[in-house]
Amino acid sequence: MSAVASERGSAGLLVIAGAGLVAAAAAVAGTLVAGVVTHTRAQSAADMTALAVAGRILADPDPCSMGGEVARGNDARLTDCQLAGASATVAVSVPLPPVLARLMPGEHAVARSRAEVVIVP
């Protein structure tokens, strides 16, 4: 048997191994992208909620209720709302996608944000 005949079919194995590596890399990349998107959604919802609450501090006796509405409008849930003078600090949570929920502890991504009313004399 010649050396060429004994190597017959080895290229097919290399192709299969390469395809497996590409599939694994795509799965890891997809999971990372899902994490970044979830974090961005949570932080955006927190920022908008904090701005909405701060914008209502002077006009509404319960500005945190407006924050709950804004958070729900962004597919998030208001988990904390603290008022201190003209400043509002909020925390919101958004559900993790199923791929991340299996890999990470907890079922939600949480983000915090703070906004303040600026009063110009």
Cα(15)–Cα(21) distance, integer angstroms: 10
- ∠ CA 44-52-71, nearest 5°, is 50
Looking at per-residue pLDDT, the higher value among 10 and 77 belongs to: 77
Q: Percentage of the chain surpassing pLDDT 70?
A: 94
pTM: 0.77
Cα(39)–Cα(46) distance, integer angstroms: 11
Tens digits of residue pLDDT in 7-42: 677 788 888 888 999 999 988 888 888 888 889 999
